[in-house]
Amino acid sequence: MSLEVSGILLYVGGEFTLLGEQSRNHLGAVNTVTGALTSFNPDVSGPVRCLRAAGELLYLGGSFAAVGSQGRRNVASVDVSSGQPTSFHPATNGEVFCLTLAGGTAFVGGAFSSLGGLERKNLAELDDRTGAATSFSPTTNGPVRSLALSPDGGVLYAGGDFTAVSGQARGRLAAFETSSGQLALFDPGADGSVRSLALTSDGSLLCVGGDFTSVRTLPRNRIAAVRTSTGFLTDFNPGADAGVSVLRLSEDGDLLYAGGAFQTVGGQPRPYLASIRASDGVPTSFNPAPDSFVDSIAVFGSVVCVGGDFRRVGGVPRKGFAVFCEPFTVSSVVLSGNGQVSPPQQQVDRGEDAELVITPDPYWHIERLLDNGEEKEITDSKGMTLRIQGVAADHLVEVFFAVDTYRISCSVEPEGSGSVVGAGVYEGGSQVTLIADPEPGYLFLHWSEGGNQVSAENPYTFVATSSRDLTAHFAPNRFFVEVSLNPPEAGWVEGAVAGTSRTRGYKA
């Protein structure tokens, strides 16, 4: 089977005569939004092994003799609107396994010895409109099964079953300068068939899958990564226990999807299908477990489409074709202060919502929230749930907590009767000590807040849990003088009544 995504359409080629229970001979198209089969129906007479879309045209290779009512041998292009074949008609005398497009030309690889009546041994370059072969004519001594083109179109990489190219030794991997057709020095050398190539977006690494157990004489079980500048291996070495038929990189280049006949990857059970971290070669948790081999993969966004010989995936009926949505990762990081985010990381399926509960520690609050760099509204600084709706990408939520601060304000009553030491701004949870200092002739009575007495202690100590506006109350300091006459008739005291005993209070 072969899969190719173009816009919202997924083109499906293979050996089938039914697609979605409708008649489709070896080629059809599915709307990726609705999942519905489209009316596209070119009616190809035999198996389609490879597909490449280019604007209004779809190129196909395989083992067929006609498209619709027109003869087309093993390679053709069709109009995507009508499904009708174009005038592109190079014709090979053997099967076409792979093709790629670049700047007005099409490169095709397979198991053929002639193309358009010209000798072309397993690899050729064509005008993408007329189908006429160019002068590019290397010869390989075995089939070419996979092609990859550098981002600038200057280098063509080929993998297959060959051990020599134009008389020079090349162990199943080779590269060509597209401008001259010359064989490049690139020569990693695999000891078994190379069935799939996947080139990183910057063209620096070539991922290789197949039936080999070593590359450049170093152990590499069926999956490897080669530096295109030198042909040297990287440390990437996940290892599959059986053949790898297809490799595809995710759009961001972080994941490498592999399909084939294997049961394990990196020593972990991953029957027939796996995704592998490009950074270190470790398989991810993605493990759908089809019940037979996978030979085609298409990736767009987080959606992974696979085709193969399976009938069930994870126990669910899926006859030869299945679609998966790799979950997105929603993670969080606390960049300042004290608090928690729960869960700190979660996997969320495409279109689903994610929720993060953000809880500051006591006496702390949420000061700032960023979601993938975008400021988010803080609905409650003392704790909230952040909801990310319709997740369609990985998310990183950055949380900034800040300590609470409270202003402790003090006044005195009556004015001028004293002062207070200790007022100011305090962090939440810290201890506050207020000291009321009366002016001469005054004494401290109590503290009040909002018209209510709260304490008669001096100093007054409490924990800062909120801003407070306190009043220290003072009163004139009075003393008492008791006067008596003895004998009572002996005289008199001013301020007292002769012959009596009286107590009076005097202001200091």
Q: Over 421-436, what HEC string results?
A: ECCEEEECCCEEEEEE
Q: Is the dihedral of CA 226, 228, 232, 236 positive or negative?
A: negative
Return the bridge partners of 397, or none.
332, 371
Q: Determine the CATH number of domain 328-403.
A: 2.60.40
Q: What is the pLDDT at residue 481? A: 65
Contacts of 404 (CB under 8 A, 6+ apart): 363, 364, 365, 427, 428, 429
**Is residue 505 very low, low, confident or very high in pLDDT (cuts 50, 70, 90)?**
very low
Residue 501 has pLDDT above 60, yes or no: no
Name residue 124's amino acid: A
The phi and psi torsions of 488 (rounded to 5 degrees) equal -55, -30
**Is residue 479 very low, low, confident or very high in pLDDT (cuts 50, 70, 90)?**
low
**Is residue 328 very low, low, confident or very high in pLDDT (cuts 50, 70, 90)?**
confident
Q: What is the dihedral of CA 21, 25, 30, 35, to 10 degrees?
A: 10
**Is residue 507 very low, low, confident or very high in pLDDT (cuts 50, 70, 90)?**
very low
State whether residue 60 is helix, strand or coil: strand
Q: What is the pLDDT at residue 251? A: 87
Higher-confidence residue: 397 or 495?
Answer: 397
Higher-confidence residue: 389 or 97?
Answer: 97
State whether residue 488 is helix, strand or coil: helix
Q: What pLDDT, in 10s, does the model give residues 445-469?
A: 999 999 999 999 999 999 999 999 9
Q: What is the pLDDT at residue 497? A: 47
Rounded CA separation 417/437 (Å) = 9
Rounded CA separation 414/267 (Å) = 83
Residue 39 has pLDDT above 70, yes or no: yes
Q: What is the pLDDT at residue 303? A: 84
Topology of the domain covering 45-288: Methylamine Dehydrogenase; Chain H (2.130.10)
**Is residue 367 very low, low, confident or very high in pLDDT (cuts 50, 70, 90)?**
very high
Residue 490 has pLDDT above 90, yes or no: no
Q: What pLDDT, in 10s, does the model give residues 183-200?
A: 999 999 999 999 999 999
CATH 2.60.40 residue window(s) in the chain: 328-403
CATH 2.130.10.10 residue window(s) in the chain: 45-288
| CA end-to-end distance (rounded Å), the chain | 107
Contacts of 419 (CB under 8 A, 6+ apart): 412, 436, 437, 439
Tell me whether the omega of the peptide bond preceding residue 487 falls within 30 degrees of 0, making it cis.
yes
Tallying the residues shown for the chain, one arrives at: 508
Q: Output the DSSP codes for 355-422.
A: EEEEEEPTTEEEEEEEETTEE---S-TT-EEEEE-S--S-EEEEEEEEE-EEEEEEEEESTTSEEEE-
| Residue in 257, 299, 297, 261 with CA at minimum distance from that of residue 274 | 257
Q: How many CB atoms lie within 10 A of CB 141?
A: 15
Rounded CA separation 42/61 (Å) = 13
Q: Output the DSSP codes for 3-17.
A: EEEETTEEEEESS-S
| Residue in 64, 63, 65, 68 with CA at minimum distance from that of residue 86 | 68
Mean pLDDT of 63-74: 96
